[in-house]
Structure 1
Amino acid sequence: MNYKLLFSHRKLWTLGRRRSTSRLHEGIRVSGQALFSSCSPKVCVVGSGPGGFYTAQHLIKARPDVELDIYERLPVPFGLVRFGVAPDHPEVKNVINTFTQTAKHSRCNFYGNVNVGRDVTINELKEAYHAVVLSYGAEGNRTMGVPGEDLAGVYAAKDFVGWYNGLPNCRELNPDLSCETAVILGQGNVALDVARILLAPISMLKSTDITQPALEALAQSQVRRVLIVGRRGPLQIACTIKEIREMVNLPGTKPEMLPADFEGISEVLKDVPRPRKRLTELMLKTALETPGEKELERRKSASRSWGFRFFRSPVEVLAEPRTNKTSAIRLAVNRLEGSGADAQAVLTGEVEDVTCGLVISSIGYRSLLIDPGLPFDSRKAIIPNSMGRIQHTPGVYCSGWVKTGPTGVIATTMNNSFDTARSMMEDMDSGALDVSAVKSGSQSITALLRGRGVKPVTFADWEKIDSVETKKGEAEGKPREKLLSVEEMLQVAQT
């Protein structure tokens, strides 16, 4: 037996099986000659939030031959799980453990600090990969479109959430919390997260991963009253029962509702689906029922209050005389036409002014177009697609909020991302997506980036950042203390 030849073949087999952390080869080369070429489907995912990771997870599990690279604009992964989930909801962030398993899979690589659309184009990705999945989320804000929304004291919920969650481009927000009343426009889960953070005792927040600057600002906050405003009624509220229950039970607070907002609601509850019925019953109980002795005592001792205001739409943010500072918001009074989820808010002609110094608009996020060569529905702020297949753009797919708009919870994103992955696999199997050609994958992309002075952050680099943040947090009795600037992140990652 030729043991020398056997050893040589075994060595090649071992090298072929071993994960290449850089993925800078298409095969094993000896004396400049390729002994084999990999025709495995190469897929890249743009965005490392839930949409991106769930798409990657499904592809890796379902296709044992897929090689996958994830590109992320920031040096750190996980998107809205890191920057959008409320600090006092740590259980929701446990999904990071699953995402970490995907990122560390032998057929997956993470490249942070890569801004697709600026550092590298979609066309360049299409040249390097068999398929490109856009999962970059929704980083824009929907505007109210009313006079005064640019006044001091008016903030987008996305930016306010980014501020207390450590999103680098929101760290200088420094919101003015010197007023007594805050008005939040919108009644989804994000709106209630913001209300809860504004009113929560500091003792509740200081053991979370909220940023230290936000914690210090909230400790000095003068906000004592938060009104959560929606254009429709209690039966159309967009939040979950969990979020309402947290508000009802928030220490040191009491509810402040308008009984008139709930007129006629009890009579129609029998025809309402059970989840909606339970949610509405909780609001009715909170708004209309006389509390028991223990709850009454709790409310009497409360120093802060919160309440829903239904059938109201913003008309104008009003300024203090001779200043650029918010003093009140003018709301139009609405009535409903139709019923259930399809009911429409119609103006009555009445308006009312609510004195406040802080207005937070939580009326939705918007996806942005990152490449002019892509189709984009500017009205819906999504990429037009069919089950994740981007219209008129073969080989390019989308998942997450850029696919659906900013709707649902993380589980919703998981399901729509799995659908996108299934669409791609169907196209691979049918031949609609040609995976027979050898593609360079990250080999050519990392070369391009290197030539443009861009140094990607690997997942191992992210783990350095994670370690530093965790240690800083432990010193403060917190799960982590986030690094707040890209410069700090890169300094740690590249050490």
Structure 2
Amino acid sequence: MLRIAVVGSGPSGVYTAQALVGQPLVPGVLVDVLDRLPCPYGLVRYGVAPDHEKIKSLQNTLRSVLEHDQVRFLGNVEIGAHGLTPERLLGLYHAVVYCVGAARDRRLGIPGEDLAGSHSATDFVSWYSAHPDAAPAGFGLGARSVVVIGVGNVAVDVARVLARGAEDLRPTDVPHPALGALAGSAVRDVHMVGRRGPSQAKFTTKELRELGALPTAEVRVEPADLALDPAYASDPGTVRPPAAGASQALAAVNRRNVEVVRGWAALPGRGRERRIHLRFFLRPVELLGAGGRVTAVRFERTAPDERGGVRGTGTYEEIEAALVLRAVGYRGVPIEGLPFDGTTGTVPHLAGRVLRHGVASPGEYVAGWIKRGPTGVIGTNRACAKETVVSLIADAPSLSARRITADPLDALRAAGHLPVEWPGWLAIEDAEAALGASLGRRSVKIPDWDGLLKAARGERGPSRP
């Protein structure tokens, strides 16, 4: 029998647990899925936009794994500087798999980035997703013009939430304070800006098309921006890269993105209440401000270079904005006691085995974004988890040589930890359903640590909405 700890209850952690209990070579494996939060599901709960109910329904699949009789959920357990050390954790289990994702956003590294009104899209998503670490005060939605820097799915989600009417979000689980702030929003123009063209943007076509389906908003595209993109000016089925002499087929998703944007560029304005401006070939160089607050973003016009990237042209443009959200990617965060590659933002590994000074560390493994970087979609984590589990099971004979007789849960409690087990999470679900009913809505997320932990203990009574 192997006792395995999986740190992180998002898709990569749960898929790792599923692969561990599903493999036939060590049928008696027991898996504890640990999480710093008292709630499971990771970015599916706290990163997927509230109006994406089909994606959020993935929680049902993850739930079935966490309810498996060989799997145990232990929330409210922190690993690292302020919690249990990796060394101490490994002493409680035969092996530990870290699936902690990439929690930090990337910065732009330009002047003015720290002005008031400049935020990461990660923080904005955490706010409208009711993450208990999110700032409760919210964001400056009194701004009429907002700039979202980035052209990936996170940028699309943020732009859509800003442009969507609050009544459309009322049936979702968005926290009540955020719903109220969005209802009073003065935002009328959302500028989503990328430094390259639509053929190189990272959003998926389904997400992109949703911008054009908003009932109270319209999408506007500058034809002059698109004219710089070789795939826009030519047949989108093929594109001749400047550095290559032969035609090269454009990937299907990129081709569809170009076609969608091309269609929007041909549409006349419809005079709707809000506007989403898709801008391309603009690189942010400075956030401008007055009185310590951001007032505009200065961009340099870019153009395709001969290497498939872009170069600056020396021409500049300013877009007025009192709120700026950067959505330029995620980065892994080091866990004290684990090796970390600061260049890639990942834990060094070989087929999932953690490497310390170039040598595999017995019993320590990684999966998910902390293993490979913030790439791929949710489903990518399945294959990633499987590779790690194959390595772990191959190591099982040496791992099982260590005798572990005590239940790790008893050791955690003895060390002063107060794990939230599965019944505690179910109590949180019940409390959120009750909160929603009291507000005339469906289930509404509890947005603060105190409320979540009280709910986990079954303490009823008023909870901050």
**TM-score, normalization: structure 1?**
0.85
Please show how residues 168-187 of structure 1 align to structure 2 within 5 Å: 168-187=132-151
Check the 8 A contact 1:261/1:309 in 2, yes or no.
yes
My pick for the range that moved more, 205-214 or 401-410, is: 401-410
How far is the alpha carbon of 1:268 from its aligned partner?
Answer: 4.8
How far is the alpha carbon of 1:475 from its aligned partner?
Answer: 4.1
Q: Distance in 1 between matches of 2:455 and 2:169?
A: 26
State the match for 1:99 in structure 2: 62
How far is the alpha carbon of 1:448 from its aligned partner?
Answer: 3.9
State the match for 1:492 in structure 2: 455
Check the 8 A contact 1:159/1:170 in 2, yes or no.
yes
How far is the alpha carbon of 1:470 from its aligned partner?
Answer: 1.7
Q: Distance in 2 between matches of 1:173 and 1:407?
A: 31
How far is the alpha carbon of 1:173 from its aligned partner?
Answer: 4.4
Say whether residues 1:456 and 2:419 are aligned partners.
Answer: yes
State the match for 2:20 in structure 1: 59
State the match for 2:32 in structure 1: 69
State the match for 1:285 in structure 2: 263
How far is the alpha carbon of 1:47 from its aligned partner?
Answer: 0.8
Q: Distance in 2 between matches of 1:318 and 1:204?
A: 33
Check the 8 A contact 1:179/1:223 in 2, yes or no.
yes
Q: Distance in 2 between matches of 1:448 and 1:493?
A: 21
Aligned residue among 411, 417, 430 for 2:385? 417
Check the 8 A contact 2:352/2:388 in 1, yes or no.
yes
SS of 1:255 mapped into structure 2: strand
- Deviation by residue 1:86-112 (Cα, 9 ceiling, x = unmatched): 000011111211221211211111111
My pick for the range that moved more, 43-52 or 349-358, is: 349-358
How far is the alpha carbon of 1:270 from its aligned partner?
Answer: 2.3
How far is the alpha carbon of 1:349 from its aligned partner?
Answer: 2.0
Q: Distance in 1 between matches of 2:410 and 2:9?
A: 21
Check the 8 A contact 2:369/2:375 in 1, yes or no.
yes
State the match for 1:328 in structure 2: 296
Q: Distance in 2 between matches of 1:440 and 1:401?
A: 32
How far is the alpha carbon of 1:309 from its aligned partner?
Answer: 1.2
Check the 8 A contact 2:36/2:75 in 1, yes or no.
yes
SS of 1:128 mapped into structure 2: coil
State the match for 1:470 in structure 2: 433
Letter in 2 for 1:317: L
Letter in 2 for 1:366: R
Check the 8 A contact 2:198/2:254 in 1, yes or no.
no
For the aligned residue pairs, the C-alpha RMSD in angstroms reads 1.7
- Relative to structure 1, the CA distance from residue 338 to residue 208 in structure 2 (aligned partners, 3 Å threshold; closer, same or farther) is farther
Q: Distance in 2 between matches of 1:61 and 1:448?
A: 27
Letter in 1 for 2:16: T
How far is the alpha carbon of 1:120 from its aligned partner?
Answer: 1.1
- Structure whose residues are more often helix by fraction: 1
The answer for unaligned runs of 5 or more in structure 2 is 239-249, 459-465
Q: Distance in 1 between matches of 2:310 and 2:346?
A: 24
Q: Distance in 1 between matches of 2:220 and 2:196?
A: 18
How far is the alpha carbon of 1:477 from its aligned partner?
Answer: 5.0
How far is the alpha carbon of 1:437 from its aligned partner?
Answer: 3.0
SS of 1:423 mapped into structure 2: helix
State the match for 1:130 in structure 2: 94
Letter in 1 for 2:287: V
Letter in 2 for 1:252: T
State the match for 1:315 in structure 2: 285
Aligned residue among 373, 378, 383 for 1:405? 373
How far is the alpha carbon of 1:332 from its aligned partner?
Answer: 1.6
Check the 8 A contact 2:362/2:399 in 1, yes or no.
no
Letter in 2 for 1:198: L
Aligned residue among 292, 308, 325 for 1:360? 325
Check the 8 A contact 2:172/2:444 in 1, yes or no.
no
Say whether residues 1:337 and 2:301 are aligned partners.
Answer: no
Q: Distance in 1 between matches of 2:341 and 2:402?
A: 32
The answer for unaligned runs of 5 or more in structure 1 is 1-39
Please show how residues 112-261 of structure 1 align to structure 2 within 5 Å: 112-117=75-80, 118-261=82-225
Q: Distance in 2 between matches of 1:336 and 1:65?
A: 56
SS of 2:91 mapped into structure 1: helix
Q: Distance in 1 between matches of 2:17 and 2:312?
A: 46
Say whether residues 1:348 and 2:313 are aligned partners.
Answer: yes
* Percent identity (aligned): 37
- Relative to structure 1, the CA distance from residue 217 to residue 94 in structure 2 (aligned partners, 3 Å threshold; closer, same or farther) is same
Letter in 2 for 1:88: D
Check the 8 A contact 1:207/1:477 in 2, yes or no.
no
State the match for 2:403 in structure 1: 438
- Relative to structure 1, the CA distance from residue 492 to residue 305 in structure 2 (aligned partners, 3 Å threshold; closer, same or farther) is same
Check the 8 A contact 1:160/1:173 in 2, yes or no.
no
How far is the alpha carbon of 1:394 from its aligned partner?
Answer: 2.4
State the match for 2:462 in structure 1: none
How far is the alpha carbon of 1:489 from its aligned partner?
Answer: 1.2
State the match for 2:461 in structure 1: none
SS of 1:169 mapped into structure 2: coil
Say whether residues 1:276 and 2:237 are aligned partners.
Answer: no
How far is the alpha carbon of 1:422 from its aligned partner?
Answer: 2.4
How far is the alpha carbon of 1:386 from its aligned partner?
Answer: 2.5
My pick for the range that moved more, 134-143 or 215-224, is: 134-143
Q: Distance in 1 between matches of 2:251 and 2:198?
A: 14
Q: Distance in 2 between matches of 1:330 and 1:145?
A: 14
How far is the alpha carbon of 1:42 from its aligned partner?
Answer: 1.2
Say whether residues 1:305 and 2:275 are aligned partners.
Answer: yes
**TM-score, normalization: structure 2?**
0.90
How far is the alpha carbon of 1:48 from its aligned partner?
Answer: 0.7
Check the 8 A contact 1:171/1:484 in 2, yes or no.
no
- Deviation by residue 1:279-335 (Cα, 9 ceiling, x = unmatched): 211111111x2x4xxxx6xx5241111122111111111112xx1111001112212
